[in-house]
Structure 1
């Protein structure tokens, strides 16, 4: 294998690992096999690209979800989302952008949506979503969580840290799985996914996740910033990250920032 081919293999290894799915797909047959005839609650987090809204909309139209929570204030991905949606809702939080699209495209009733519009980082996303659910009085038996594929595993670890285990069964499901490929020595990203990041930006996102998931003084786990539950990173993921770090040193997360959780 060529050096470039090895790079692509390492990128796909990490990308697939981060895009956590605790069930293989969202078909009725798969859900029934897990004892679920209809998901009580799906939470879609800001930071996800527009394609996630279509996954959620189709799930609604097939009658496989009862309630939806949309979470996210205004952050560094808001403009990207607004442009992709071609929305004229300026200065609106990401939860509102998703809600507007889902209501107008999939005829989802507004009363079936919970909106959390204040959170601006992963930790706030999870905590404020919990606060919103507890305040509503709604008690889902199972809750399916969807985030950008690059952040899906960290989001699951945040839930494991913050949400009471007896409150609801958490199903972590990355709504899309980007795939790197090589063409004429050019690294590409696909398949055709609406709103997908440019390859270099997505490389930066996935490489930034590994230091965050590490449970050391620099990471987000119990031995670091204590934002997430412990994550046991597989040896092959750490080895791939080290190789990619040498090739893309400028894309690796900068030094520990005591007051930032992004």
Structure 2
């Protein structure tokens, strides 16, 4: 791989991270994916006393369909139990197939369980923090202005992020380019709020597209 591509991609990685400070909350919504380190990090937040319960959200999506033998939420819950999270502190939503559904369906689970939603932690992959933020603000079924929430992800550097589960750094760059595309086009579709994208990030995005990192870019109408 061209090392210049790695440096360019790290510009996008840094933009995707929000740097929120952690707060104690009523619940943590843990968005499913192909990266079980997200579940491990959520379990650590629970063990550290930041949340009394974890809501794992996710069925099977683009990156896990045909790969996972069970829904993302169920697999993540198993990881959390293995870390010592008690079953009565775990809620599961395993029907969602995209980020918007993660948010919408999780709201219903929390409301049905009688859990206050005024303070929430959203747990996601590092390069999905910004997209999850934009989706939450747009798709939360309740009054989002009354919710104090933070985004967090496993504290892993870009160079250390690839592993046998998420793929090579080449694979990760393909996915990040696709995620930034969604940040750019989804506000016009009503899926996310608009976010300013700095010129240097847009330049990195265009450079990586020209270099062929387009495998996870979407066609019109795709909402995943």
Is residue 2:219 matched to residue 1:261? no
CA distance in 2, matches of 1:133, 1:73: 17
The Cα RMSD (Å) is 2.4
Residue 242 (str. 1) matches residue 218 (str. 2): no
Q: SS at the partner of 1:220? A: helix
Q: 2:150 aligns with which of 160, 171, 174?
A: 171
Q: Distance in 2 between matches of 1:195 and 1:252?
A: 17
How has the CA–CA distance of structure 1 residues 40 and 252 changed in structure 2, closer, same or farther, with 3 Å as cutoff?
closer
Q: Which secondary structure does the structure 2 equivalent of 1:96 belong to?
A: helix
Cα distance in 2 for partners of 1:95, 1:242 equals 34
Within the alignment, does 1:110 sit opposite 2:87 as a pair?
yes
Structure 1 residue runs without a partner (length 5+)? 24-30, 83-89, 181-189
Is contact 2:173–2:213 with CA below 8 Å preserved after alignment? Answer: no
Are the equivalent residues in 2 in contact too, given 1:154–1:213 (CA < 8 A)? yes
**Would you say the 8 A contact 1:15–1:178 is kept in 2?**
no
Matches of 1:133 and 1:220, distance apart in 2: 26
Query: What 5-or-longer segments of structure 2 have no aligned partner?
Result: none
Q: Deviations along 1:154-174, whole A, 9 cap, x unmatched?
A: 111001112222442110112
In the TM superposition, what is the alpha-carbon distance from 1:44 to its structure 2 partner?
A: 0.8
TM-score, normalised to structure 1, is 0.76
SS at match of 1:66: coil
Q: Do the aligned partners of residues 137 and 250 (structure 1) sit closer, same or farther apart at CA in structure 2, a change above 3 Å counting?
A: closer
2: CA distance between counterparts of 1:127 and 1:191? Answer: 28
**What's the CA shift for 1:76?**
3.0
Q: Which string of whole-angstrom CA distances, capped at 9 and with x for unpartnered residues, describes residues 153-201 of structure 1?
A: 1111001112222442110112244424xxxxxxxxx257673432221
Matched, 1:46 2:32: yes
Confirm whether residue 14 of structure 1 aligns to residue 43 of structure 2: no
TM-score for both structures, normalised by structure 2: 0.88
The separation in 2 between residues aligned to 1:98 and 1:249, in whole angstroms, is: 29
Count the aligned residue pairs. Answer: 222
Whether contact under 8 Å (1:50, 1:81) holds in the other structure is no
Specify whether residues 41 and 65 from structure 1 end up closer, same or farther in structure 2 by C-alpha distance, changes over 3 A only.
same
The alpha-carbon deviation at position 80 of structure 1 amounts to 8.2
